[in-house]
Structure 1
Amino acid sequence: MENNKVSGTQQDMLEMVIKELVEEHAKANRVIEDLVKGINGINNKIDKPALMRTPEPDTSKIQQVIEKCMLEIRLTISTNLNKHKPGRFQLFLESKNKMWVVVTILRIFLLTYAFFLFVYYLAKSA
């Protein structure tokens, strides 16, 4: 411990080393502060997510197509409801292929009625 005294050159070297250590320490502190700021920013983003604004889709074309289809459906329904529905007998008469069946049945009824009427008049005159 006798040599506690430091010479001038050694003192200058110690000052330079201490200054370099202080500068490195300051740089390390700045880097750590930047990292802390970055982590805090990420934490803020995670804690409070920003609402992403999505643009409203243009649905006017779809609405026009749907309105057009609805009008067509209403028109179809109204025309079908307003159609005159013929009864079964009229529908049967309108069929060209089965009209001869109806005519034949009517002839049989008329001929049977005429036959019984004829028999009635013969019985009455006798």
Structure 2
Amino acid sequence: MENNIMDESEQSTLKLVIKELVEEHTKTNKVIADLVEGINGINSKIDKPSVIPTPEPDTRKIQQMIEKCMLEVRLTISTNLNKHKPGRFQLFLESKNKTWVVVTILGIFLLTYAFFLFVYYLAKSA
């Protein structure tokens, strides 16, 4: 029977241990309750997302720029289509900067012809 009977010191120690366990349990319950409350708050925010109104962008400036560019493209195409394209070989080039090439070629031909004509008359007279 001695084993079943506890002395007062053991009973007081057991009461202190139980009291500390109960306090720890209440603290744990309070932390769990705070966590549950936080999770419920997050769930309510997720369930009802706030709708932020987005303003419509102003596209008038972009449309004006596109229209201006399209007009420039049309103008460029129309001027290129109306440009005269030579379909045959031209003796004299259209550019005045390149006429010296034509004059030089003609001069070489004329001088060559004059040289052979001069050689022919020298051979005939001799």
Shorter-chain TM-score: what band?
A: 0.3 to 0.5
Provide the TM-score with structure 1 as the length reference: 0.43
Provide the TM-score with structure 2 as the length reference: 0.43
